[in-house]
Amino acid sequence: MQNKKRKVLLIDSEPSILEQQKKLLRNKELDEHLYSFMNLSEAMIFIEAHIINNKNKLHYIILDEKAVGNQLSRNLEKFWGINSFLKKPDIIVITEDNNALIRNRIMQYPFVSVFLVKPMPSSYIEFLITGQLS
């Protein structure tokens, strides 16, 4: 499968996880279109300034629960409000809590396409985005 210049935004509060995912995805020639942040505030500023204002598109947003704080549902509402401006990217939510109540609450948002629980194989996100493994 040929890579089609997908734009990916990573938000993860754990630097080691963030670097690991960046390294895997850079190997798939996404480095020019890979944006990473350790918190939601910085990511939202970037989204507004560089994606919405420039009418660009994001293909994937990978969102770690810890990076958005303890109010994941409230913060997902922010994506609900700007989702049409982002041209409907797939949002992947990652959490350490395998709680059915949390999962069901998060998956009620139609723009959340995948809910993952840590730990997961390091290549799993790579496969979701590129359709291939290293």
Residue 106 in any domain: the answer is yes
Average pLDDT of each block of 10 consecutive residues along the chain (134 residues)? 70 86 72 83 91 87 80 75 75 86 85 87 80 72
Cβ pair 64, 17 in contact under 8 A: yes
107: phi then psi, degrees, rounded to nearest 5 = -75, -5
Range of the domain at 46: 8-130
17: phi then psi, degrees, rounded to nearest 5 = -65, -45
DSSP bridge partners of 115: 93
**CA gap 49, 83 in Å, rounded:** 15
Residue 3 in any domain: the answer is no
Domain count, the chain: 1
* pLDDT the model gives residue 46: 94
Q: In CATH, what number is assigned to the domain containing residue 51?
A: 3.40.50.2300
Residue 71 in any domain: the answer is yes
Residue 1 in any domain: the answer is no
**CA gap 20, 53 in Å, rounded:** 30
SS3 for 80?
helix
